[in-house]
Amino acid sequence: MAAGFGGICARGGRSAVNAMDATAARTKQEILRGRLVALGFDEVRFATLAELGGERLNAWIAAGQHADMHWMERTAEKRLQPTLVLSEARAVIMLGVNYASDAAGATVPGATGEPRATWARYALHEDYHDTIKVGLNAAGNVLKEMYGATREDYRAYVDTGPVLERGWAAKAGLGFIGKNAMLISRRHGNWLFLATILTRQEFLPDAPVRQQATDFADTGLLCGKCTRCLEACPTQAFAAPGVVDARRCVSYQTIENKGIIPRELRAGIGNRIYGCDVCLEVCPWNRFAQAGRSVLLVARRELAGLTVRDVLALTPARFAEVFRKTPIKRVKLAGLLRNACIVAGNSGDVSLLESLVRLAAHESPLVRAHAVWAVRKLGGEPALASARLAETDAAVLAEYAAPVATL
């Protein structure tokens, strides 16, 4: 791949030619931007490779705020040094995909008063890792066509790569980092997926939202005195503005945690069955968000209609069918039943007891533990007598033994 913009022709002076080259490079870059927008990316911006500053990430890991996401520890060095991911990398193309839509998490109870679950807005789509990947593959073809880039000249990621996507997005000017830790866009509010192309090609950098917005000190740059997100967090997960302690975050607990959800956090989970958007929803910057074009997304609005009772009744076959192609399949049936037990326990709806008592004899100890908690919380403990007699798992027995005041 031809990396630079420089070059000298026999007759012109170096600076005149460089100026001409820079203009040509800029024009070409704008054509590239237009072509990537046409592929479905709502934001396409460029940053040159520079130090991002590792203090924030290192401090987060040192404090254990990454919970058991040990892969964050293992990849920290790469996240801070993109040339370890791609040698001779020179620039980052930061891409954003708007997912603001009226498919917001279902927070309104149905007409029948049946308890509903709230799903993170992003989850009410086919898995964005898969659908945005299609756009990234197409972007690779454009880079090849326009710049002669081979597969070795760039790395393209959405979410799962060892890159600090929000930091690069702030550098490239997609938005600013809010006190809720989100990359917030003036055009899309909080509803922007990020994707990254690390490349050996040089690009002219775009400006950040404000010139000084290049450092961690600028977290909350356009928040002013607002602290809504910090106050609204249902589990007090913010260790400081812009710093999420994953151990307390509902998103971590309901998606990434594969084990028991700490008892003291369960009430705060409320009816959030998968992920959490509270600190995003309350942000006043969302009022500028326009509906997305959905070129790289496939909405699955029907999922918002599922009731807690529907989820508690899922069989392996039905789970596979309903959540096919969605990110929710990643938590597997046992993980989703665990979350649904918590939502049911918090609902106060004793008509769910029958399903919960059945789950207290489920084959998975993870499900049994949370079902026992929910049954006890709804006051149905006597119905657990036979399940308790058969129980041998230490974690489940601990749920039977927990003092009622801690439920």
Distance of alpha carbon 221 from the chain centroid: 21
Shortest Å distance, C-beta 232 to ligand SF4? 6
How many CB atoms are closer than 10 A to CB 26?
13
**Tokens 């509010």, residue located:** 189
- Residue in the shown chain whose Cβ atom is closest to ligand SF4: 178
Between 194 and 223, name the residue whose CB sits nearer to ligand SF4. Answer: 223
Contact 100, 188 (CB under 8 A): yes
How many residues sit close enough to ligand SF4 to count as binding (CB under 6 A)? 24
Between 88 and 231, name the residue whose CB sits nearer to ligand SF4. Answer: 231
- Print burial letters for 54-81: b (CB count within 10 Å at least 16), e (below 16): eebbeebbeeebbbeeeebeebbebbbe
Shortest Å distance, C-beta 398 to ligand B12? 25
Q: Which of the listed partners (ligand SF4, ligand B12, none) does 148 bind, with a CB threshold of 5 to 8 Å by partner kind?
A: none
Shortest Å distance, C-beta 227 to ligand SF4? 5
Q: Which of the listed partners (ligand SF4, ligand B12, none) does 159 bind, with a CB threshold of 5 to 8 Å by partner kind?
A: ligand B12
Per-residue binder mask for ligand SF4 (CB under 6 A), 257-296, x = binder? -------------------x-xx--xxxx-----------
Shortest Å distance, C-beta 288 to ligand SF4? 12
Instruction: Return the DSSP state at 126.
Output: S
Contact 154, 199 (CB under 8 A): yes
Catalytic residue, chosen from 21, 68, 130, 159, is 159
Per-residue binder mask for ligand SF4 (CB under 6 A), 159-178, x = binder? -------------------x
Run of H or E residues at 176: strand 176-177
**183-184 and 176-177 as β-strands: parallel, antiparallel, unpaired?**
antiparallel
Sign of CA dihedral 391, 394, 395, 397: positive
Contact 167, 208 (CB under 8 A): no
Shortest Å distance, C-beta 110 to ligand B12? 22
Q: Which residue among 199, 235, 307, 326 contacts ligand SF4 (CB under 6 A)?
A: 235
- Nearest-Å Rg of the Cα atoms of the chain is 24
Binding interface with ligand B12 (CB under 6 A): 52, 56-57, 60, 69, 72, 120, 122, 158-159, 161, 163-167, 170-171, 177, 180-183, 192-194, 213-216, 218-219, 242, 244, 246, 249, 251-252, 256, 275-277, 279-280
Q: Which residue among 250, 273, 308, 372 contacts ligand SF4 (CB under 6 A)?
A: 250
Between 52 and 223, name the residue whose CB sits nearer to ligand SF4. Answer: 223
Sign of CA dihedral 232, 235, 240, 244: negative
Between 157 and 274, name the residue whose CB sits nearer to ligand SF4. Answer: 274
Shortest Å distance, C-beta 393 to ligand B12? 27
CA distance 358 to 175: 48
How many CB atoms are closer than 10 A to CB 182?
22
Q: Which of the listed partners (ligand SF4, ligand B12, none) does 135 bind, with a CB threshold of 5 to 8 Å by partner kind?
A: none
CA distance 259 to 185: 34
Between 249 and 342, name the residue whose CB sits nearer to ligand B12. Answer: 249
Contact 280, 182 (CB under 8 A): yes
How many CB atoms are closer than 10 A to CB 385?
8
Token representation of residue 234 = 């249902």
Please say if 159 is a catalytic residue: yes
Residues that bind ligand SF4 (CB under 6 A): 178-180, 220, 223, 226-229, 233-235, 237, 244, 249-251, 276, 278-279, 282-285
Any idea which residues carry the catalytic annotation? 159
